[in-house]
C-alpha cells in the first residue's frame, strides 16, 4: 500500500506503508533447491501428468500383455515344443524388449513440452539445469517398473517359473531399469532434435526395431547367418537379455552383467552431455 504525498517542488512521491514493508521484510527467501530436490520435483510432475491423462499408461499395460501372449503362443510350439517350455526362455527377453520399446516415450514427452514452450520457462528457473531431464527420466522409471510387473505377473500365470527365485527376478528387473534409464537419454536428445512427435517416433522405431529384434530375445543366435551373428553378439540388448535370463534362472554370467553396465555408462556419457547441450542451446 502506498499513499501519495506532496513534495516541496509540487510533485507527489509515494509513501510506503510501514506495516506492508515490515511484512515483506520478515519473510525469508525460499532456499534454492539442491539437485536431488529439483530432480524429484520434476519426477513428481511427470507422475501428475499420468494422473491427469491416465491414457498414457496404455503403452505400459496393453503393450507388454500383447507382446507376451502373442510371441509365447505364436512361437512356443514351433521353437520349444510347447508355450510353457518356451516361456521359460522367452519371458526375460520379452521383458527386455517391451521395456526397451517404451523408453522412446520419454523423448515424446520432452518433444511435446518443447513444442508447447514449457522448456523456455524451465530455462529461466534458478535450479540445477539437468534436473528437468533427470526428473522426467525418474518419472518414467515408474512406468518401466509397472511394465515389468505386468510382464512377470502374466508370465507366472501362464507357466513361467524362475529358478533364481524372487531375489533373481528383482535383480534382473533392477538391471533392466538401469539400462532403460540409460537408453532413455538417446530419446531425450532426439526429442530436442526432431521437430514433431511423428518424426521422433519414426526415427525411434528405426533404431529400436533392429536393436530389439536382431538379438537373442526370440531364438538362439547360432541359427542365424554369420554376418547377422556378428551384430547380435555386440548388441547390448543381447547382453541384457542373457544377463536377465541368468539372474532369473540362477545361473548368471557376471561378464554379461558387466557388459550391460558398461553399455549404460557409455550411453549416459555420450547422450547425457549432448542432451544438456541441446537443452541450453535449442530455441
Per residue in 175-229, pLDDT (tens digit) is 999 999 999 999 989 988 888 888 988 999 999 999 999 999 988 888 889 899 9
Q: How confident is the model at residue 56 (pLDDT cuts 50, 70, 90)?
A: low
270 vs 77 pLDDT, higher one: 270
Query: What's the pLDDT at 196?
Result: 86
Query: What's the pLDDT at 61?
Result: 80
Q: What is the pLDDT of residues 96-141, one digit of tens each?
A: 999 998 888 888 888 888 888 777 777 777 888 778 888 888 888 8
Q: How confident is the model at residue 143 (pLDDT cuts 50, 70, 90)?
A: confident
The mean predicted confidence, pLDDT, of the chain is 84
Q: What is the pLDDT of residues 251-265, one digit of tens each?
A: 888 999 999 999 999
Q: Is the pLDDT of residue 144 over 70?
A: yes
Query: What's the pLDDT at 222?
Result: 87
Q: Is the pLDDT of residue 70 over 70?
A: yes
Q: Is the pLDDT of residue 25 over 70?
A: no
Query: What's the pLDDT at 13?
Result: 47
d(CA 29, CA 127): 15
Q: How confident is the model at residue 77 (pLDDT cuts 50, 70, 90)?
A: confident
Average pLDDT over residues 256-279: 92
Q: Is the pLDDT of residue 26 over 70?
A: no
Average pLDDT over residues 44-54: 75
Maximum mean pLDDT: which of 37-46, 75-84, 133-142, 211-220: 211-220
Structure pTM?
0.81
Angle at the Cα of 72 from the Cα atoms of 61 and 156, rounded to 5 degrees: 65
Query: What's the pLDDT at 171?
Result: 95
Minimum mean pLDDT range among 15-29, 151-165, 209-223, 224-238: 15-29
13 vs 28 pLDDT, higher one: 28
Q: How confident is the model at residue 283 (pLDDT cuts 50, 70, 90)?
A: low
33 vs 144 pLDDT, higher one: 144
Average pLDDT over residues 38-63: 77
Amino acid at each position: 500500500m502506498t499513499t501519495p504525498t506532496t513534495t516541496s517542488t509540487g510533485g507527489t512521491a509515494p509513501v510506503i506503508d510501514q506495516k506492508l514493508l515490515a511484512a515483506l521484510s520478515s519473510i525469508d527467501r525460499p532456499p534454492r533447491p539442491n539437485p536431488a530436490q529439483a530432480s524429484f520435483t520434476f519426477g513428481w510432475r511427470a507422475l501428475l501428468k499420468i494422473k491427469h491423462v491416465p491414457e498414457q499408461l496404455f503403452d505400459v499395460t496393453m503393450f507388454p500383455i500383447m507382446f507376451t501372449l502373442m510371441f509365447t503362443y505364436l512361437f512356443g510350439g514351433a521353437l520349444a515344443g510347447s508355450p510353457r517350455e518356451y516361456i521359460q526362455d522367452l519371458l526375460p527377453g520379452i521383458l527386455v524388449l517391451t521395456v526397451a520399446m517404451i523408453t522412446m516415450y520419454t523423448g515424446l514427452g520432452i518433444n511435446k513440452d518443447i513444442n508447447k514452450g514449457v522448456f523456455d520457462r524451465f530455462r529461466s528457473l534458478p535450479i540445477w539445469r539437468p534436473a528437468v531431464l533427470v526428473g522426467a527420466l525418474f518419472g518414467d522409471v515408474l512406468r518401466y517398473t509397472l511394465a515389468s510387473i505386468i510382464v512377470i505377473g502374466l508370465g507366472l500365470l501362464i507357466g513361467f517359473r524362475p529358478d533364481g527365485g524372487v531375489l533373481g527376478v528383482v535383480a534382473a528387473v533392477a538391471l533392466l531399469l538401469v539400462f532403460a534409464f540409460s537408453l532413455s537419454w538417446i530419446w531425450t536428445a532426439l526429442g530436442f532434435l526432431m521437430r514433431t512427435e511423428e518424426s521422433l517416433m519414426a526415427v525411434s522405431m528405426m533404431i529400436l526395431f533392429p536393436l530389439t529384434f536382431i538379438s537373442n530375445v526370440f531364438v538362439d543366435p547360432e541359427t542365424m547367418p554369420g554376418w547377422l551373428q556378428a551384430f547380435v553378439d555386440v548388441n547390448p540388448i543381447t547382453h541384457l537379455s542373457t544377463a536377465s535370463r541368468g539372474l532369473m534362472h540362477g545361473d548368471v554370467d557376471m561378464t554379461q552383467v558387466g557388459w550391460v553396465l558398461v553399455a549404460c555408462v557409455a550411453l549416459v556419457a555420450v547422450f547425457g552431455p549432448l542432451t544438456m547441450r541441446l537443452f541450453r542451446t535449442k530455441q
